[in-house]
Amino acid sequence: MMYPFLTLNDDTEIVHSEMKEDGTVKVYIEKPDENDCFHHATCYLPGYKWEDVYGFSEKDIEKFMDIITSTANLIMEFSKDGGFEHASAKM
C-alpha cells in the first residue's frame, strides 16, 4: 500500500509504502506531464537508492533528494504507522 506524504506546488506527488520486513521503504515521486503523461522516480530508504527514473532531470532528482533527506525520519516513522493520517491520529 502507498500512503500520501507531500504534494509540491507544481503538482508533484510524493508517496511512500509501509515499512517492509527488511526495514526498507519505497518512496515514489510522480508529476503530471502534458507530453509524457507522467514523470516518475522511485527512491528506497534508508539507502537512498534511486530506480526507474523517467522524465526527471538530474537537477530534479537533486531537489527530490534534498526533500527526501530532510524528511526521511518522518517517512520512516509514518511507514510504520500506516501513513501520516494514521500516525497523526495517535498524537
> Could you state, in order of their start, the residue ranges of all structural domains in the chain?
1-56
Q: Which of 61, 24, 63 is nearest to 44 (CA)?
A: 24
Q: What is the pLDDT along the chain (91 residues), one digit of tens a residue?
A: 899 999 999 999 999 999 999 999 999 999 999 998 999 999 999 999 999 999 999 999 999 999 999 999 999 999 987 766 655 445 4
Omega within 30 of 0 (cis) for the link into 32: no
Those residues whose C-beta lies under 8 Å from the C-beta of residue 31, and which sit 6 or more positions away, are: 10, 11, 12, 13, 38, 39, 40, 55, 56
User: Helices 58-80 and 83-90 sit at what angle, rounded to 10 degrees?
Assistant: 40
